[in-house]
Each structure stands twice: as structure tokens, then as C-alpha cells.
Amino acid sequence: MKNIFIIGVGLIGGSFALDIKRRNAECVIHGIDQNTAHLDEAIALGIIDKKSDFEALGKADVVIVAIPVDATLNVLPEVLDKVSDEAIVFDAGSTKEDICLKVKNHPKRRNYLAAHPIAGTEHSGPSAAIHDLYKDKTNIICEVEETAFKLQEKALKLFAELGMRIRYMNPKAHDKHIAYVSHLSHISSFMLGKTVIDKEKNERDIFDMAGSGFESTVRLAKSSPAMWTPIFQQNKTNVIETLDEYINNLKHFKKLMEDGDFEAVYSEMETTNHIKDILNGIQ
């Protein structure tokens, strides 16, 4: 791998760039981003080696598409149009079904690997990029059989170098499961933050009285709306289903409190404590 092209030089793309460069000093990291200030910042931070554009994609060995999922729908076919037969293209989008359908009949579908590295922070932009973001994180690969085997190997070798765990899933199942374990938690965080801001008008009170529990719960509310709105739009059906179930659980909990049934409240929380055993098993 000599020429690595990163489309979108923010947290996700920038973190890929940092770790690829650290492990492959001879490679050249090319950055493409519609925000020229991001490109300047990425160069200043040493994340990319040079600015580039779509016309240069023909010399790419690897192309990483790390932009919002609505933009990916438009950009990915153009990327595949321009890359050579030996290039591997993968994305990092949090939805997979619409993206896979978009390039299903593309002549160079074999060059594309549908990926979703489950990693990130609440921060965005080139300055948010960090080393080892992907270490010990799960990377969901969809429709691997649609990607040329030798190109699969190139991508999987890269993922292994970055310390990622691989799991295979079909796009429809991916989008359904990720709605529960990722998309719902972001909505919950945004709406908790909104509830507190609406009720507690005094920002000083929020700052002084918010404990670590509140801070950790609303951490995701700092995430970029430009990234998350398209995710909710593309995964609308699954997200609405998860919201219905979540709202029903909230209503049930509220009813238990209204009825003064705190033994049941205790039981609900005790049962849910099992989540710590599940999550500890993932560590």
C-alpha cells in the first residue's frame, strides 16, 4: 500500500490516517474533503501528507470513505468510477443497507467492502482524530462475498494491523441491531440534554449540579447533528421501532412509580443490572 486516500478527514478518517501512517511510514496519505479548512488543519496536524481530489483516485491503493451516510450515497459510485481494478474502497458508515443497494449493480462493486468500525467519540473534525481509536473495536463487514477476494484480503490485513475484531453480517440485520445498540443511545442522549436545557434555564445551575452520571449520559449529545441526522433518516424504520419499545419501557417505569410499586421498580433495575455482565464480557 503506497497511496491511501481518505475522503473526510475528521475523527473517523483522520484516526485511520494516523494509525495507517504509524504502521506504514512509506505510504502517502491523500486527503479529500469539501471543507478546505479541514484539509489545511489535517496537514498542519500531520494527519495527511497532501490535499487531493477525485481526479487523482486512479492511483489509489486504498480509499476510505469517512463522510456522513447521505453524502456516501452520492460519493461512493463516483469513487468506484475512478479507482483502478486493484484498489479497495471501504466506508465507515453507521448504516449499510441503503449504501449497499446504491452500488449493487455498479461495474466495480467488487472493489467495494461495506464496513462499519464501531468506534468513535463525541468530538468531530481533524483535531478529534486520535491514535488507536480502532484498537480492540469491532468492525462489521457486510456482503463480503460481493468483494473480490484479493481485495478483501488487503482490507482485512489493514484492519488486523489496527487491532480490530471482525464480524460478518448482512446489511439488513446490521441496520436493525445497530439501531438498538447505537442509534437509540444517541437519541436518548440528545433528548435528555434537551429536557434538562428546557427545564433548567440557568446554565450555571446545570454546570454546578450536574454529576458524573449526567455528564456520561449526555456525552453523546455533543455529537455532530450533520452526521447523525442522515443516519436516523436512512435507518428510520428500525430507529422508530426501537423508540417505540424504549418509550413503552419509560411509560411502564413511570406507571410503577405512580402506583407506588417500588418493589417492582427495584426488580426492574435489578434485572437490568445484567447488562454489566454482558458488557464486561465484551471487554
Please give the grid coordinates belonging to residue 194. 434537551
d(CA 119, CA 130): 11
Q: What was the pLDDT predicted at 214?
A: 75
Q: What was the pLDDT predicted at 213?
A: 74
What three-state secondary structure class fits 91?
strand
Burial of 231 per CB tally in 10 Å (0-12, 13-18, 19+): buried
Kindly state the helix (H) or strand (E) to which residue 266 belongs, with its residue range.
helix 262-272
In sequence order, the β-bridge partners of residue 30 are 5, 50
d(CA 221, CA 223): 5
- The two beta strands, 138-142 and 112-117, are antiparallel
Average pLDDT, consecutive stretches of 10 residues, N- to C-terminus, the chain (283 residues): 95 98 95 97 98 98 98 98 98 98 98 96 94 97 98 97 97 97 93 83 65 78 93 97 96 97 95 83 56
Q: What was the pLDDT predicted at 157?
A: 96
Q: What was the pLDDT predicted at 215?
A: 76
d(CA 175, CA 234): 9
The structural domains of the chain, with segments of one domain joined by +, span: 3-170, 174-282
- Domain spanning 3-170: which CATH class is it, in words? alpha beta
18 contacts 130 by C-beta, under 8 angstroms: yes
Query: Which amino acid type is present at position 228?
Result: W
- The total of other beta-carbon atoms located within 10 Å of residue 219's CB is 14
d(CA 56, CA 79): 10
Residue in the structure block whose three cell numbers are 419509560: 250
Q: What was the pLDDT predicted at 217?
A: 80
d(CA 179, CA 191): 16
CATH code for the part of the protein at 174-282: 1.10.3660.10
Q: Let me know how many helices (H) and strands (E) the chain has, helices first.
A: 13, 8
Going by C-alpha positions, the residue among 101, 91, 42, 41 that lies closest to residue 71 is: 91
d(CA 130, CA 17): 9
In sequence order, the β-bridge partners of residue 168 are 141
Going by C-alpha positions, the residue among 253, 249, 180, 185 that lies closest to residue 217 is: 185
Q: What was the pLDDT predicted at 211?
A: 65
Please give the grid coordinates belonging to residue 152. 478483501
Q: Is the whole model's pTM more than 0.85, yes or no?
A: yes
- The total of other beta-carbon atoms located within 10 Å of residue 159's CB is 19
